[in-house]
């Protein structure tokens, strides 16, 4: 597993927290005393002030994908703005049904009155009193309100997408809506480190591959909560039973909690008032593809043909690229890819056989027999960093899979390893590639024919810059501290005999044969060790020699 996010995140995680004001009324309870200050907070803070006081808007709504911490940003905004002189801040929290829960008035940063319940009279009285003092009055609301302030006061509302409220403000010339960005993995890891949360970087990466950049799930301390959210997501996908639902998903039409879990808002860089909608994560894209490609699925043929017609613009939307690429590779045909391994740029075309179905695999179930099912196979794991899928040709004498022959490297066939590159980070795990080749019983051939292994990065065919040069493939040779069982041909029987001689690790075996083997067992094991060392060297050379390509879909 890559460590780049951790290496980047930890040094920048220092001094990035602030205390959260416990007096602020909240739509949902904030469970800890401090919060992590994201880089985007300062940018959005300045943008809101500019929108209110330079552009003279009356209402600013800060929204975005549920669970990214808009209420936390509400706390940040309050913390920065509260000390302004001659200022009264009227805060209130509202339920998702726009019922007021609590209101608190602050002056000079201090709490000077509060009220609970749905009565708005307290708010009106506080505004009148502040205006009589000739204070500036700013309303900060957490959750979608059912009221808006009377002139000349201004308001900032922090809320998850609420159809009724967003529809209401969209009709107002004096109102503006800003969309906040999702978290990236580095931010999440840095936040966990800063807040001393008991969540490992590996756990965060695993959750990110399922939920995308939703901090509520990725940074949750309660594992049962995370499991429940994953079940909701799986239930959403299982309920995707019509072309209309798929059409809304692929066209990025959001509405209701189901679509907010399956798709996310992505604010446009140059205009956070506008946004794109993208499939939430690799997990969602894989499960959606697996759902609609199932033979038991009623609308299978209709929806698969619909996938063929996804527009290029739609295909650029994040993880939708993966669905499109997998569907295209299952259909077979030409893959025209640009080589990035050498100084001289050239294009190579790989002709792929058609698969008669979608084949998904779990890494622990891979074997030589997997290759007999069909040529193209898709990993079920959403955080599988080695590859996302692979292609290897088969030769069938009949329609019966058991009669299919698996082509060998000697027949000039290639194994194509595909890596879907939705994000700017393109981790490639050498250990994972070796594991796949070994499970498929192709490793020995690959070691001596590394030019037959092709690594293809799949990118969107748009104006965004794609990979231009060969990517490093990290590889750490097996440490001598490993048990001797890691050495090929040292089976359980040999291992037991070695253990009886107090030889348990590779290091122990090296020491035992250093002066020459003293018995037949050690002579055999020395030969096994020599073959193991040679294999380690060949593996490193193979990974370095793998030719890499970029395929624009």
pLDDT of res. 306: 55
Query: What is the C-alpha to C-alpha distance for residues 359 and 20, in angstroms, rounded to an integer?
Result: 49
**Residues 54 and 105 placed together within one structural domain of the fold:** yes
Same domain? 399 vs 428: yes
**Residue 89: strand pairing partners:** 106, 138
Cβ atoms of 97 and 159 closer than 8 Å: no
Q: How far is CA 26 from the centre of its chain?
A: 28
* Same domain for 198 and 173: no
**12 found inside a domain:** yes
Nearest residue to 348 (alpha-carbon basis) of 339, 357, 361: 339
Q: What is the pLDDT of residues 397-422, one digit of tens each?
A: 444 444 456 555 545 689 999 998 76
Instruction: Identify whether the C-beta of residue 360 lies closer than 8 Å to the C-beta of residue 348.
Output: no
Q: Which of 470, 498, 526 is the last residue of a domain?
A: 470
The Cα 141–Cα 27 span in angstroms is 9
What are the phi and psi torsion angles at 173 (to 5°)? Answer: -65, -25
Domain count within the chain: 3
Biggest CA pair distance of the chain: 100
Residue 248: predicted pLDDT? 61
* Beta strands per DSSP E along 14-86: 17-19, 34-36, 59-63
Q: How many residues does the chain have?
A: 553
Q: For residue range 216-257, what is the model confidence (pLDDT) as tens digits?
A: 999 999 999 999 999 999 988 887 766 566 666 655 555 555
For residue 164, tell me if it sits in a domain: yes
Last residue of a domain, one of 179, 214, 241: 179
Is residue 333 domain-shared with residue 285, that is, in the same domain? Answer: no
Residues 6 or more apart whose CB falls under 8 angstroms from that of 527 comprise: none
Q: Is 418 a domain residue?
A: yes
209/242 same-domain check:
yes
Q: Given 470, 495, 526, which residue is the final one in a domain?
A: 470
Q: How confident is the model at residue 145 (pLDDT cuts 50, 70, 90)?
A: very high
Residue 403, both tokens: 């009669």
Same domain, 126 and 224: no
Is 425 inside any structural domain? yes
Residue 221 in any domain: the answer is yes
Determine the average pLDDT of the residues in 35-58. 96
Q: Bridge partners of 19?
A: 34
Together in a domain, 84 and 154 = yes
Full domain range(s) for residue 402: 325-337+349-470
What CATH number is attached to the domain comprising 68?
Answer: 3.40.50
| Residues 296-308 as b or e (16 or more Cβ within 10 Å = b) | ebeeeeebbebbe
Assess if residue 43 is contained within a domain: yes
Is residue 478 in a domain?
A: no
Strands 415-420, 389-391: pairing kind: antiparallel
Q: Is it the case that residue 299 has pLDDT exceeding 50? A: yes
Identify any residues that bridge with 463 across adjacent strands, giving them in sequence order. none
- Which pLDDT value is given to residue 466? 67
Token pair listed for 186: 């580095």
Residue 500 covered by a domain? no
SS (H, E, C) 467-488: CCCCCCCCCCCCCCCCEHHHCC
Residues 223 and 157 in one domain: no
Residue 481 has pLDDT above 70, yes or no: yes
Residues 23 and 76 in one domain: yes
Q: Which two tokens stand for residue 321?
A: 């690229």
Quick: pLDDT tens for 162-213.
888 998 999 999 999 999 999 999 999 999 999 999 999 999 999 999 999 9
User: What's the CA gap between 172 and 164, in Å, rounded?
Assistant: 13
In this predicted structure, the answer to whether residue 313 has a pLDDT above a threshold of 50 is no
What's the average model confidence in pLDDT over 126-150? Answer: 93
**Higher local confidence (pLDDT), 512 or 462:** 512
Pick from 225-234, 273-282, 351-360 the range whose average pLDDT is largest: 225-234
Mean pLDDT of 440-452: 92
Same domain, 96 and 128: yes
Cα distance between residue 133 and residue 88, in whole Å:
10
Q: Which residue has the higher pLDDT, 423 or 266?
A: 266
**HSE-up (13 A, CA, CB side) for residue 177:** 21
Distances (CA, A) of 50 to 43, 44, 133, 155, 506: 11, 10, 25, 13, 65
Mean pLDDT of all residues in 73-94: 94
Which of the given ranges, 100-109, 240-249, 256-265, 279-288, has the highest pLDDT on average?
100-109
Same domain flag for 364 and 229: no
Secondary structure string (H, E, C) spanning 108-176 = CCEEEEEEECCCCHHHHHHHHHHHHCCCEEEEEEECCCCCCCCCCCEEEEECCCCHHHHHHHHCCCCEE
d(CA 524, CA 343): 45
What is the model's pLDDT at position 454?
A: 96
Q: Please report the pLDDT score of residue 312 as a whole number.
A: 43
**pLDDT higher than 70, residue 337:** yes
Same domain, 99 and 35: yes
d(CA 187, CA 178): 21
pTM of the predicted protein model: 0.73
Query: Distance (Å, rounded) from C-alpha 428 to C-alpha 432?
Result: 8
Contact indicator for 147, 90 with CB cutoff of 8 Å: no
């Amino acid at each position: 597993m890559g460590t780049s996010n951790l290496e980047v995140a930890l040094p920048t995680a220092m001094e990035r927290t602030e205390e959260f004001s416990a007096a602020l009324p909240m739509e949902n309870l904030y469970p800890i005393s401090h919060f992590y200050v994201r880089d985007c907070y300062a940018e959005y803070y300045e943008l809101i002030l500019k929108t209110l006081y330079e552009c003279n808007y009356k209402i600013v709504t800060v929204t975005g994908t549920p669970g990214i911490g808009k209420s936390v940003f509400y706390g940040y905004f309050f913390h920065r703005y509260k000390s302004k002189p001659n200022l009264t801040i009227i805060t209130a929290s509202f339920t998702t049904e726009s019922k007021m829960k609590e209101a608190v008035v602050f002056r000079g940063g201090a709490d000077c009155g509060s009220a609970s319940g749905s009565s708005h009279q307290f708010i009106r009285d506080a505004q009148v009193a502040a205006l009589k003092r000739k204070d500036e009055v700013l309303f900060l609301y957490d959750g979608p309100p059912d009221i808006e302030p009377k002139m000349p006061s201004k308001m900032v509302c922090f809320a998850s997408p609420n159809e009724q409220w967003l529809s209401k403000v969209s009709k107002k010339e004096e109102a503006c809506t800003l969309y906040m960005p999702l978290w990236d993995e580095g931010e999440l890891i840095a936040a966990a480190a800063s807040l001393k949360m008991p969540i490992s970087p590996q756990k965060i990466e695993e959750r990110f591959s399922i939920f995308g950049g939703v901090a509520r799930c990725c940074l949750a301390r309660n594992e049962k909560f995370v499991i429940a959210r994953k079940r909701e997501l799986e239930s959403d996908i299982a309920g995707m039973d019509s072309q209309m639902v798929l059409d809304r998903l692929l066209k990025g039409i959001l509405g209701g909690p189901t679509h907010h879990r399956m798709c996310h808002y992505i604010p446009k860089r140059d205009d956070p008032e506008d946004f794109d909608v993208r499939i939430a994560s690799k997990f969602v894209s894989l499960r959606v593809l697996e759902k609609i490609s199932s033979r038991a699925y009623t609308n299978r043929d209709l929806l698969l043909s619909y996938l063929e017609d996804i527009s290029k613009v739609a295909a650029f939307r994040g993880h939708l690229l993966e669905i499109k690429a997998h569907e295209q590779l299952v259909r077979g045909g030409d893959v025209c890819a640009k080589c990035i391994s050498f100084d001289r740029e050239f294009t190579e075309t790989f002709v792929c056989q058609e698969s008669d179905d979608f084949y998904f695999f779990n890494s622990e179930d891979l074997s030589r027999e997997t290759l007999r099912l069909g040529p193209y196979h898709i990993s079920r794991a959403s955080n599988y960093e080695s590859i996302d899928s692979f292609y290897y040709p088969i030769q069938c004498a009949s329609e019966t899979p058991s009669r299919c022959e698996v082509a060998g490297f000697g027949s000039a066939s290639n194994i194509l390893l595909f890596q879907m590159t939705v994000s700017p980070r393109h981790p490639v795990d050498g250990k994972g590639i070796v594991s796949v080749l070994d499970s498929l019983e192709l490793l020995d051939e690959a070691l001596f024919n590394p030019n037959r292994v092709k690594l293809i990065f799949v990118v969107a065919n748009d104006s965004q810059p794609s990979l231009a040069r060969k990517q490093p493939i990290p590889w750490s040779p097996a440490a001598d501290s490993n048990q001797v069982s890691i050495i090929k041909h040292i089976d359980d029987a040999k291992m037991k005999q070695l253990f009886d001689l107090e030889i348990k690790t590779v290091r122990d075996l090296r020491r035992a044969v250093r002066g020459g083997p003293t018995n037949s067992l050690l002579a055999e094991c020395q030969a096994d060790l020599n073959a193991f060392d040679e294999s380690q060297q060949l593996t490193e050379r193979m990974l370095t020699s793998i030719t890499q390509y970029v395929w624009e879909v």
